[in-house]
Structure 1
Amino acid sequence: MKAKTYRIGEAATLLNLKPYVLRFWETEFKQLIPIRTQKGQRMYSEQNILLLRAIRHLLYERGLTIEGARKVLGQYEEIHGSITGPEFPGPEIEAFCAGSGTEKPLYGTEASGAIDVEEIITELASLRDLLITGRH
């Protein structure tokens, strides 16, 4: 069975965005690579749609800048190895970016939107210790 794909207009409607936003995000997020038809038309896969939802969440709901969203997606790639593989991004990327799943996002989640620097320093120190000792 052939995987479902969406034309740019369909994807934009599905995500409640304008097509020009999707085209712009292609230039800003290296992981977002729609399929191109022989005529050059963009076709978005289900994986592209999940990635676009995550990007939209990071930018519009979390209020991150494009650079901040790139960093979060980069963190996701470091942890999971890929965003662009055949099984990625799965629903876990939405949970990761939203902070609603079992995974804790690596950026601030306080109601004010401020990042807790002390918490980050503590977490980084803990990770450093794990790397040094090699224990989980």
Structure 2
Amino acid sequence: MKAKTYRIGEAATLLNLKPYVLRFWETEFKQLIPIRTQKGQRMYSEQNVLLLRAIRHLLYERGLTIEGARKVLGQYEEMYGSITGPEQPGPEIEAFCAGNGTETPLYAKETGIIDVEEIISELTSLRNMLITGRH
């Protein structure tokens, strides 16, 4: 049985995104490599769609920058191996990126993993100090 693939427009619709966003993310995230047809058309695998969901979550719902999302995906790769392997990313990447309590915490001093939520909180606090002029 052949694995399901999606054209760029279909993948964009599934993810509630515009196709140009997917093309841009291909340039920003080395893990995102769609299959190309002989005519050069992008075809996204189920694994690509899971990865795109994780990227969308990190950028739009968690509010990370592209660099921050790259770091989280890099942490995932360090912990679980390749994101783009035959069975990766699986449900664990969604849990990892969603931070729903079933994944390894994003911060542990002993492992040197970054706490993204803590960084966001600190940056928000700094921004508020800059806006109000209070120290």
Q: TM-score, normalised by structure 1?
A: 0.79
In the other structure, the counterpart of 1:8 is 8
Query: Is 1:18 the counterpart of 2:18 in the alignment?
Result: yes
User: Which position in structure 2 is the counterpart of 1:114?
Assistant: 121
Are the counterparts in 2 of residues 98 and 105 from structure 1 also a CA contact under 8 Å?
no
The answer to whether 1:49 aligns with 2:49 is: yes
After TM superposition, the structure 1 = structure 2 runs for residues 1-136 of structure 1, keeping only pairs within 5 Å, are: 1-106=1-106, 107-109=115-117, 113-114=120-121
Gaps of 5+ in 2: 107-114, 123-135
CA distance in 2, matches of 1:76, 1:39: 33
CA-to-aligned-CA distance 1:47-85 (integer Å, 9 cap, x gap): 000000000000000000000000000000000011010
* Identity across the alignment (%): 89
| CA apart distance, 1:113 | 4.3
Amino acid at match of 1:97: C
Between the aligned partners of 1:35 and 1:47, the Cα distance in structure 2 is 11
Q: Distance in 1 between matches of 2:83 and 2:17?
A: 22
Structure 1 gap segments, 5+ residues each: 116-136
Q: Which amino acid aligns with 1:78?
A: E
- So what's the TM-score if we normalise by structure 2? 0.80
RMSD of equivalent CA atoms:
1.5
Structure 1 residue runs of 4 or more that deviate by more than 3 Å after TM superposition: none
Q: For each residue in 1:83-116, what CA deviation from the matched residue of structure 2 results, as whole angstroms up to 9, or x when unmatched?
A: 0100000010000000114113413347x9416x
1:114 match: secondary structure: helix
